[in-house]
């Protein structure tokens, strides 16, 4: 299919479309056609070869129907949700996001000429402060106070 600027160019008027005589065509020997809907409501506009005097008669062409081959998937009764794989994927995405954030902060440290090692040591200290023993359950009170050093 040919295109002129953002409009499709048809040699024949597709079925269901009609010639739009409300505006002139930018292409000699062609008219605008619309698919019956308003452009503001998702309708489409295209160029079609003109049927005026001196141009050949337009033939209507049936659109080619495409058939889709759909495979039937039989449900398995013994399907087990892959929770471990989903959790691993979520962790990998989280690690990627965290690494991007740290790289951004390091770039800010470089621009502002702040000490990068101090920033990295703060992150290490925060990670090492998390208690991973099974004796104590994690609750909000056991987490380190992140904003204690900020003078607000």
- Digit-coded pLDDT (tens) for 76-117: 676 677 888 889 999 999 999 999 999 999 999 999 999 999
Tell me phi and psi for residue 36, to 5 degrees: 95, -10
- Digit-coded pLDDT (tens) for 17-41: 888 877 777 777 788 888 888 778 8
- Rounded CA-CA distance 38/12 in Å is 21
Q: Which residues pair with residue 30 across a beta bridge?
A: 49
The residue ranges of every structural domain in the chain are: 2-49, 83-130
Token digits for 60?
């209507």
Whether 31 contacts 21, CB under 8 Å: yes
- How crowded is residue 136: how many other Cβ atoms within 10 Å of its Cβ? 9
Three-state SS for 34?
strand
Task: State pTM to two decimals.
Answer: 0.38
Q: Compute the average pLDDT of residues 140-147.
A: 59
């Amino acid at each position: 299919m040919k295109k002129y600027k953002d409009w499709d160019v048809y040699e024949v008027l597709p079925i269901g479309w009609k010639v739009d005589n409300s505006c002139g065509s930018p292409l000699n020997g062609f008219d605008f056609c619309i698919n019956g809907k308003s452009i503001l409501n998702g309708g489409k506009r295209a160029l079609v070869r003109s049927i005026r005097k001196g141009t050949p008669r337009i033939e209507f062409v049936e659109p080619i129907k495409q058939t889709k081959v759909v495979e039937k998937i039989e449900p398995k009764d013994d399907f087990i949700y892959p929770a471990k794989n989903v959790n691993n994927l979520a962790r990998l995405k989280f690690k990627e996001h965290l690494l991007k954030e740290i790289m951004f902060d390091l770039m800010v440290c470089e621009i502002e000429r702040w000490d990068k090692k101090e920033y990295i040591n703060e992150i290490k200290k925060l990670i090492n402060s998390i208690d991973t023993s099974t004796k104590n359950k994690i609750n909000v009170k056991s987490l380190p106070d992140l904003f204690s050093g900020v003078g607000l």
